[in-house]
Structure 1
Amino acid sequence: MKKSSASDGSDLLFNQSLEKGLAVLRAFNAQRPTMTLQEVAASTQMSKSSAQRMVHTLEQLGYVRKHPQTRRYQLTPRVMQIGFNYLAANALIDMATPFLSELALRTGETCNLTEPDGTDMTYVARFVSAKFVPIHMPIGSRIPMYCTASGRAFLSALPDNDARQLLLQSQRIAHTEHTKTDLEEIMGLVHVARRQGYAINREEIYLGDMNVAAAVIGAQGIPMGAVHVVAPTSRWSMAEAELRLAPAALECARAISNSVRTLG
């Protein structure tokens, strides 16, 4: 388990046991839905005895269970309570919901609200179209800022130095043949998004997937997240998306921003 500056012993208030327990929970994912104790230890870079203590504690608390036949560990639905509490207490989601619903009706496409977390954007609200959407992105899904419309829209609302620092921290890998990974090229697209008020992304993370996004701006001009509309390439050209979807996404983001700022 990689040590952060907070866990290297310099912060006397930092609880390393809690850090290890959370690392175990995060180790389970779509690629590793179940794990043996040895696999938990390997994925979290813990000793087997340390991993055993963490898993046993989480099992007693009801966050992890062992399959009676396979003897492999997996998460339980109780883990969702933590994420649900965040969503339920999030005022931005409450304020954005009616505007996102209207945007989905207006465009006929799936519309989302994402919030920043490190160098990623996390889905926190989603209105799904009845039309086919090639990529399933449930609440809690994460996408990198550097190669997505919502990420670049968010970056465009930051000062250049802050946006550049986030890009430098990103693992800018090529997900598809269309992915932009060059720092200066991405910064150029961030500048374009800043001038236009919206960002558009075509097949840089998933083939067949295109998105149009605009930043949600809070008090003191600080970006809080981004609204984006899914525009599958099977239904939309980039020109059509910019002509019809971009103004709608921008209007929605501005309406949410105005509502947020009324709270002070």
Structure 2
Amino acid sequence: MTSTIRQPPAVSSLFNQSLEKGLAVLRAFDAAHRTLTLAELATLTGMSKGSAQRTVHTLQQLGYVGKHPQTRRFQLLPRVIEIGFNYLAAHPLIRVANPYLSQLANASGETASLTEPVGLDMVYVAQLVTSKFIPVHTPVGMRIPMYCTSSGRAWLSALPDAQVRAVLEASTRVARTPYTLTDVDAILARVAACRQVGYASNCEELFLGDMGIGAPILDSNGQAVAAVHLSPPTSRWTMEEAQRKLSPMVIECARAISQSIAH
């Protein structure tokens, strides 16, 4: 396993390694590691067992980590949610975007989502869920790779080709399904197409049964800050139908949000 602790870009007397270790412990828990032993935490974070023990004890005292009474394995506690919620509650883009996402979901009948870039991924920061069946649950806070998603490609479309290529080459382009594009030039072509038509798409490239139609949200300087997308399932739509009927809605939603944050 590799360490989740990231070294600071430059040595600084202000850098707090104890805080870094605490955040590394919190980030070690995920869908594949819902509970962890002290030894597993030490391995995942690259810490010594003693350092991991001190860090976990502190997080326990603060109410962010607990120990299951039967298994004696560590797990996150609900207080962790406060950190992410405070970001969402204070985010002006989310406040502006929510009415438009609601309109988009109502007009299309499909789940409408807002994502922001984080490294080589996009993270869900707002979502209006349809009452219809959806094959894949993508909650707020979930990260998805840029290279094979409509929201990622939409955001990349606002960048120069050299930057797009750098992002794609830095990405671990895993074939998530038999339909995933992993060739850099092939993905670049999809990003270029987005610039021409105003939206990006993917068809079962991340999850089977799931498609995406996305468009970038731009600030007053024309810089991409986020993306909005719909998630039409293959059980209700063909890609051709989705592009024809849903892409104008997605483009208009992204344009309305962009205009709202530009003023």
In the superposition, the TM-score normalised over structure 1's length comes to: 0.96
Q: Does 1:152 align with 2:153?
A: yes
Give unpaired runs (5+ residues) of structure 1.
Answer: none
2:69 match: secondary structure: coil
Q: Which residue of 2 aligns with 1:114?
A: 115
Flag the 1:72–1:4 CA change in 2: closer, same or farther, 3 A.
closer
Deviation at 1:70, TM superposition (A): 1.2
Deviation at 1:172, TM superposition (A): 0.8
1:243 match: secondary structure: helix
C-alpha distance in structure 2 between counterparts of 1:192 and 1:12, whole Å: 47
Residue pairs, 1:86-101, within 5 angstroms: 86-101=87-102
1:136 match: secondary structure: coil
Residue pairs, 1:223-238, within 5 angstroms: 223-238=224-239
Deviation at 1:178, TM superposition (A): 0.6
Deviation at 1:11, TM superposition (A): 2.5
C-alpha distance in structure 1 between counterparts of 2:182 and 2:53, whole Å: 40
Q: Does 1:6 align with 2:11?
A: no
Deviation at 1:97, TM superposition (A): 0.5
Flag the 1:19–1:5 CA change in 2: closer, same or farther, 3 A.
closer
**Could you give the per-residue CA deviations for residues 43-79 of structure 1, whole angstroms, max 9, x where no partner exists?**
1121111110110010011000111221111000000
**RMSD of aligned alpha carbons:** 1.1
1:174 match: secondary structure: coil
Residue pairs, 1:109-148, within 5 angstroms: 109-148=110-149
Q: Which residue of 1 aligns with 2:57?
A: 56
**Could you give the per-residue CA deviations for residues 196-217 of structure 1, whole angstroms, max 9, x where no partner exists?**
1100100011000001000000
The one-letter code matched in structure 1 to 2:112 is C
Q: Which residue of 2 aligns with 1:164?
A: 165
**Could you give the per-residue CA deviations for residues 170-191 of structure 1, whole angstroms, max 9, x where no partner exists?**
1111101111111111111100
Residues 5 and 24 of structure 2 are in contact (CA less than 8 Å); yes or no, is this contact kept in structure 1? no
C-alpha distance in structure 2 between counterparts of 1:5 and 1:79, whole Å: 23
1:221 match: secondary structure: coil
Q: Does 1:216 align with 2:217?
A: yes
Deviation at 1:124, TM superposition (A): 0.5
In the superposition, the TM-score normalised over structure 2's length comes to: 0.97
